[in-house]
């Protein structure tokens, strides 16, 4: 097990290095002049040059990159020019908000998409199958920011069922004592039930928005995989042996159809990381996505580079977890690995 983890991590190192190089170069060729932005619109050319020299932007690109890599090796992602705080501190403070939203959306989409996919496969070409196709197609076709704005308009503005989309908690509640950074878990640990209800209410709409977006690939791959397994010989043998339908479907068919679903989870997670940026802006969610967008608009390089690097590392860790989950679901995968 440890050998397999070490091999996966070694294979991920070139990808991380590539992300560092590409992100650094892209931030240097994006439109906008960082020195001119922070010097101010009324600054003279001399003042802009002084700011550029102070930020080290007057150095050649290879020199800037060498300095960035040297700082990165010490765990220093630089400081945000907008806030003046270290990027590591900012990302550590905001990452739990993004992680809570992403995990909640992934869990909700699994709870809905997997049963839908199983039912659609068991009732192939029935109304349930057609409903699943229409529902998942509509969810993935609508832009995630449009879905979020639509939910806000209907459930907050028209019906008044949802709280104002203004972050993780409304103005009447204070954050719970920090244990994990996840407000739902921290409020439960601290037994602050009102804070838990408030955090859950704020989390509901952005979670549903992301879950609707991620339903389609999970439901579709579950349906396709189940159709293949249900048509196999061992399932027909199990039914001929007199086993109940529930036992055949859940114990034999679904377990053998699970590997493609687990593979899809890695792709869905990457989709959610991208969609998170837009959802956080719509719901004023204080996560790393909104932090990166604000830094990008200000031509603030360090937060953008730190954000992309953290997302790349998270993606590597998720794929490692999926590889480990393969061995749990199918021991043959563990032996082959």
Answer with the residue of higher pLDDT: 159 or 323: 159
Q: Pick from 273, 297, 316: which is nearest to 27 by CA?
A: 297
Q: How confident is the model at residue 330 (pLDDT cuts 50, 70, 90)?
A: low
User: If DSSP codes are grouped into helix, strand and coil, which group holds residue 79?
Assistant: strand
User: Model's pTM, two decimal places?
Assistant: 0.81
Q: How confident is the model at residue 276 (pLDDT cuts 50, 70, 90)?
A: confident
pLDDT in tens, 220-232: 888 888 888 888 8
Phi then psi for residue 306, to 5 deg, are: -65, -40
Answer with the residue of higher pLDDT: 332 or 277: 277
Q: How confident is the model at residue 130 (pLDDT cuts 50, 70, 90)?
A: confident
DSSP code at position 86: B
Residue with structure tokens 């579709």?
220
Domains defined along the chain, listed by start: 2-73 (no CATH), 95-336 (1.10.3720.10)
pLDDT for 73 beyond 70: yes
Do 28 and 61 touch, CB atoms closer than 8 A?
A: yes
Cα–Cα dist 75/275, whole Å = 28
What was the pLDDT predicted at 202?
92
20-25-28-31 Cα dihedral, nearest 10 degrees: -110
Count CB neighbours of 11 within 10 A: 12
Instruction: Copy the structure tokens of residue 38.
Output: 């922070």
Residue with structure tokens 């008044």?
160
pLDDT for 109 beyond 60: yes
Average pLDDT, the chain: 82
Count CB neighbours of 215 within 10 A: 25
Instruction: Copy the structure tokens of residue 336.
Output: 């082959």
Ramachandran quadrant class, 90 (left: phi over 0; alpha: psi -120 to 50; beta: rest): alpha
Lowest pLDDT segment from 89-93, 213-217, 245-249: 245-249
Answer with the residue of higher pLDDT: 35 or 150: 150
pLDDT for 334 beyond 60: no
Count CB neighbours of 292 within 10 A: 24
Cα–Cα dist 51/58, whole Å = 9
Cα–Cα dist 41/44, whole Å = 9
Answer with the residue of higher pLDDT: 40 or 200: 200
Q: How confident is the model at residue 335 (pLDDT cuts 50, 70, 90)?
A: very low
What was the pLDDT predicted at 329?
67
SS3 per-residue string spanning 184-239? HHHHHHCCCHHHHHHHHHHHHHHHHHHHHHHHHHHHHHHHHHHHHHHCCHHHHHHH
Answer with the residue of higher pLDDT: 44 or 281: 281
Count CB neighbours of 156 within 10 A: 15
Instruction: Copy the structure tokens of residue 233.
Output: 């010989």
pLDDT in tens, 27-41: 777 666 677 766 666
Count CB neighbours of 302 within 10 A: 22
Please state the rounded mean pLDDT for residues 99-124. Answer: 88
């Amino acid at each position: 097990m440890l050998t397999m983890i070490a091999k996966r991590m070694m294979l991920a190192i070139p990808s991380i290095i590539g992300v560092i190089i590409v992100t650094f170069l892209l931030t240097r060729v994006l439109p906008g002049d960082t020195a001119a932005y922070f010097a101010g619109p009324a600054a003279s050319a001399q003042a802009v040059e002084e700011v550029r020299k102070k930020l080290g932007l007057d150095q050649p690109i290879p020199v800037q990159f060498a300095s960035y890599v040297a700082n990165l090796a010490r765990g220093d992602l630089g400081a945000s020019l907008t806030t003046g705080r270290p990027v590591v501190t900012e990302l550590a403070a905001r990452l739990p908000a993004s992680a809570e939203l992403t995990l909640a959306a992934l869990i909700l989409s699994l709870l809905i998409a997997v049963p839908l996919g199983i039912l659609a496969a068991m009732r192939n070409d029935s109304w349930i199958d057609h409903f699943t196709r229409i529902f998942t197609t509509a969810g993935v076709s609508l832009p995630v920011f449009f879905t979020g704005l639509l939910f806000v308009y209907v459930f907050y503005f028209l019906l008044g069922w949802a709280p104002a989309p203004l972050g993780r908690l409304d103005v009447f509640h204070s954050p719970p004592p920090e244990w994990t950074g996840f407000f739902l878990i921290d409020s439960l640990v601290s037994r602050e039930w009102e804070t838990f209800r408030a955090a859950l209410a704020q989390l509901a709409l952005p979670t549903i928005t992301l879950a609707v977006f991620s339903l389609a690939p999970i439901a579709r791959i579950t349906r396709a995989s189940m159709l293949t397994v249900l048509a196999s010989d061992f399932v027909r043998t199990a039914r001929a042996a007199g086993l109940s339908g529930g036992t055949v479907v859940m114990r034999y068919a679904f377990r053998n159809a699970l590997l493609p679903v687990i593979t899809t989870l890695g792709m869905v997670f990457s989709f959610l990381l991208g969609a998170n940026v837009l959802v956080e802006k719509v719901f004023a969610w204080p996560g790393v996505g909104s932090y990166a967008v604000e830094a990008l608009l200000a031509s603030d390089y360090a937060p953008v580079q730190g954000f992309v690097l953290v997302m790349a590392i998270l993606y590597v860790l998720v794929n490692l977890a999926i590889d480990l989950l393969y061995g749990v679901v199918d021991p043959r995968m563990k032996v082959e690995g």
